[in-house]
């Protein structure tokens, strides 16, 4: 593709940091891991941060360390990346899908309470596309029903709700650093928490169940190989040193798209700001106006691709995935309507003004050739 959908922001500082680790001879469980954990904990205002091999691993260890077990239910949105539900099935926990709010694309608190049953143990709130979920309402529901609240902040490093950083406002929060995220460790994630005993258990679980006091070949419980290497951690340390400028650049790009696409009746643009929230821009996702068929969306994506511009549908609802067709769910009309009309446009730090112009002009041209809604 002439203009990719995403691209990591890597400078000489990151390359030098990784090179220094290679020369050090210490490639795992070393000082860079500790430095990265410290940087994320400080930034997210969490007491503890535990680095792991991916955001998916972090979600898995969150439900494991909180004591959720086979037969329990967890409420979550279907409009999100499939890893959120997969992490539950790893522990034979039943996902229960509820609908989203049309403005934030996050869990609709008014739909959550009616989905609670005697088997419900937790709410998994996803900060979709870097937009904070309604944590005050969800926390209130969780407290009334004695449920855990887990934040899937994999797309939301730096986002804020009521002036506080997301990812450290619930029982556990998970960040992810895949190459398309705000910062990257190539592969990797962090579990953040204010609970020191929970953090200690996650540290053990990520390293084959070893406790910190045990010798190398003594394992306190069944664990996993979810370690993050020193190479990945060093990359993360260097990226965290630029986090503020990275987030500012991404916000500027979102505003640039809005300026170019504003006033187009065929599109619904993502909000640039929302009450009580600071958005951390992960992607820039527009959606076709209501009434357009999924085929219209697919035609736009194909038209962009034909001109060398990458685009994607974000997200295909999880309950439409073959493995989840029998999953428990409430009616999901907003999820299904929005999921059929979304288009993720190229969004990365180094995108140029001329590339933004080309994407916007091509998109507007393609929209002009679409039949009207309902046709």
Structural domain boundaries of the chain? 12-240, 243-368
Mean pLDDT on 347-371: 96
Q: Is 184 helix (H, G, I), strand (E, B) or coil?
A: coil
Q: Thinking of the domain 243-368, which architecture would CATH place it in?
A: Alpha-Beta Complex (3.90)
Side-chain-facing half-sphere of 66: CA atoms under 13 Å = 27
Query: pLDDT band at residue 289, thresholds of 50, 70 and 90?
Result: very high
Query: pLDDT band at residue 214, thresholds of 50, 70 and 90?
Result: low
- Measured torsion, CA atoms of residues 241, 247, 249, 253, in degrees rounded to the nearest 10: 160
- Distance of alpha carbon 300 from the chain centroid: 25
Q: Is the pLDDT of residue 109 over 80?
A: yes
The pLDDT of residue 324 is 97
Q: State the sign of the Cα–Cα–Cα–Cα dihedral 8, 11, 14, 20.
A: positive
Cα–Cα dist 160/44, whole Å: 10
Mean pLDDT on 4-31: 98
Q: Is the pLDDT of residue 375 over 60?
A: no
Q: Is the pLDDT of residue 158 over 60?
A: yes
The pLDDT of residue 191 is 98
| Phi-psi sector, 25: left (phi>0), alpha (psi -120 to 50), beta | left
In the sheet with 160-161, reading across from the earlier edge strand, the strands are 164-165, 160-161, 277-278
- The DSSP 8-state label assigned to residue 131 in this structure reads P
For 12-240, give the CATH class. alpha beta
The answer to whether residues 342 and 313 touch, using CB atoms and an 8 Å cutoff, is yes
| Phi-psi sector, 201: left (phi>0), alpha (psi -120 to 50), beta | alpha
Tokens 């860079």 belong to 32
The pLDDT of residue 55 is 98
Mean pLDDT on 294-306: 96
The pLDDT of residue 298 is 95
pTM of model > 0.85: yes
Cα–Cα dist 123/273, whole Å: 25
Query: pLDDT band at residue 217, thresholds of 50, 70 and 90?
Result: confident
Query: pLDDT band at residue 115, thresholds of 50, 70 and 90?
Result: very high
The pLDDT of residue 218 is 83
The pLDDT of residue 212 is 74
Q: Which residues are catalytic?
A: 181
Mean pLDDT on 296-313: 97
The pLDDT of residue 369 is 87
CB atoms within 10 A of CB 251: 18
121-134 confidence digits (pLDDT tens): 999 999 999 999 99
Percent of the chain with pLDDT over 90: 94
Query: pLDDT band at residue 192, thresholds of 50, 70 and 90?
Result: very high
Domains 12-240 and 243-368 in one fold: no
Q: Is the pLDDT of residue 106 over 90?
A: yes
Name which of 180, 134, 157, 163 is nearest 58 in CA terms: 157
Residue spans of beta strands (DSSP E) within 129-226: 148-152, 160-161, 164-165, 172-176, 189-193
The pLDDT of residue 293 is 84
Instruction: Taking each helix axis as running N to C, give the angle between helix 230-240 and helix 12-24, from 0 to 180 degrees, rounded to the nearest 10.
Output: 150
Q: Is the pLDDT of residue 216 over 90?
A: no
Residue spans of beta strands (DSSP E) within the chain: 48-52, 73-77, 94-98, 120-126, 148-152, 160-161, 164-165, 172-176, 189-193, 267-268, 277-278, 284-288, 328-329, 342-345
Residue predicted with more confidence, 33 or 374: 33
- Distance of alpha carbon 13 from the chain centroid: 25
Cα–Cα dist 140/109, whole Å: 10
The pLDDT of residue 215 is 73
Query: pLDDT band at residue 374, thresholds of 50, 70 and 90?
Result: low
In the sheet with 267-268, reading across from the earlier edge strand, the strands are 267-268, 284-288, 342-345
Identify the weakest region by mean pLDDT among 94-108, 212-226, 237-251: 212-226
Q: Is the pLDDT of residue 373 over 90?
A: no
Mean pLDDT on 100-119: 97
């Amino acid at each position: 593709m002439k203009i990719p959908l995403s691209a990591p922001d890597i400078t000489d500082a990151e390359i030098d940091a990784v090179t220094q680790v290679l020369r050090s001879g210490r490639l795992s469980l070393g000082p860079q891991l500790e430095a990265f954990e410290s940087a994320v904990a400080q930034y997210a205002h969490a007491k503890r941060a535990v680095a792991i091999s991916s955001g998916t691993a972090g979600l898995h260890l969150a439900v494991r360390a909180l004591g959720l077990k086979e037969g329990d239910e967890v409420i979550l949105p279907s409009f999100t990346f499939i890893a959120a539900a997969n992490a539950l099935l790893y522990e034979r926990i039943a996902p229960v899908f509820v609908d989203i709010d049309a403005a934030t694309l996050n869990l609709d608190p008014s739909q959550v309470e009616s989905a609670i049953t005697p088997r419900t143990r937790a709410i998994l709130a996803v900060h979709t596309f870097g937009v904070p979920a309604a944590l005050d309402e969800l926390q209130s529901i969780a407290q009334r029903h004695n449920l855990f609240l887990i934040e899937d902040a994999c797309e939301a490093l730096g986002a804020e709700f009521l002036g506080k950083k997301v990812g450290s406002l619930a029982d556990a929060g998970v960040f992810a650093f895949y190459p398309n995220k705000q910062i990257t460790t190539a592969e990797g994630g962090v579990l953040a928490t204010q609970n020191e005993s929970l953090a200690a258990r996650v540290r053990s679980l990520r390293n084959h169940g070893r406790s910190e006091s045990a010798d190398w070949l003594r394992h306190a419980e069944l664990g996993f190989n979810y370690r993050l290497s020193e190479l990945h951690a060093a990359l993360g340390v260097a990226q965290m040193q630029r986090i503020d400028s990275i987030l500012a650049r991404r916000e500027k790009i979102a505003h640039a798209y809005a300026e170019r696409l504003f006033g187009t009746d065929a599109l619904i643009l993502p909000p640039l700001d929302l009450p009580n929230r600071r958005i951390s821009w992960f992607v820039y996702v527009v959606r076709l106006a209501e009434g357009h068929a999924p085929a219209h969306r697919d035609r736009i994506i194909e038209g962009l691709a034909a001109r060398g511009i990458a685009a994607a549908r974000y997200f295909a609802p999880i309950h439409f995935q073959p493995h989840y067709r029998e999953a428990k769910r409430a009616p999901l009309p907003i999820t299904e309507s929005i999921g059929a009309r979304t288009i993720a446009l190229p969004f990365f730090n180094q995108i140029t003004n001329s590339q933004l112009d080309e994407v916007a002009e091509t998109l507007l041209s393609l929209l002009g050739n679409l039949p009207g809604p309902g046709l």
